[in-house]
Amino acid sequence: MNKVVQHHGVHNLEGKQTKLKINYTNKNDIIKLIGPPSTKSTFDNDIFIYIERKTSSSKLSKLGKKKLLTNNVLVLEIDNTGLLLSKKFYNKDDMNNIKFNNDETTLNYSKKSFVYNFLFSLRQKIDDPLGKKRIKN
């Protein structure tokens, strides 16, 4: 039985990214070679993010869970003249080694804060949209 491989994003991203040269390849070359980015953002420079993901159905003993075959991400930074400034390629193994900051942001809602009052009134309207629970007989 052949397994069905589901592919999302850019095919052969790892091979295509090797053809990109820093300070030589321009934005039009990138789009012609790889296609439009999966995600695009603009800070000081343009950031193009390309994603490739392949999954396959696993054995019946694992209750049909998907097995991750490929998970590649390519991050390209393009300057305001359209030239490629930097490229970073991450594969499945690289992503397992990324360290995340464990610090947490604390929330401080006092009973008198605007946010608390707004959320409280919104919750009341969701719980009782017609206001019938507030009327006492």
pLDDT tens digits, one per residue of 67-83:
778 888 888 999 889 89
In a domain, 13, yes or no: yes
In a domain, 89, yes or no: yes
Instruction: State the CATH number of the domain containing residue 83.
Output: 3.30.1450
In a domain, 23, yes or no: yes
Domain count, the chain: 1
In a domain, 37, yes or no: yes
Q: Which residue has the tokens 């000081």?
A: 44
pLDDT at 32: 93
Higher pLDDT, 81 or 137: 81
Q: What's the CA gap between 86 and 48, in Å, rounded?
A: 11
Structural domain span for residue 10: 5-96
pLDDT at 33: 92
pLDDT at 71: 83
In a domain, 64, yes or no: yes
Backbone phi and psi for residue 6, each to the nearest 5 degrees, phi listed first: -95, 130
pLDDT at 120: 72
Q: Is 80 exposed, middle or buried (0-12, 13-18, 19+ CB in 10 A)?
A: exposed
Q: What's the CA gap between 105 and 102, in Å, rounded?
A: 10
- Residue-wise pLDDT tens digits, 79-108: 889 899 999 888 877 766 666 667 776 666
Q: Which residue has the tokens 């309207």?
A: 125
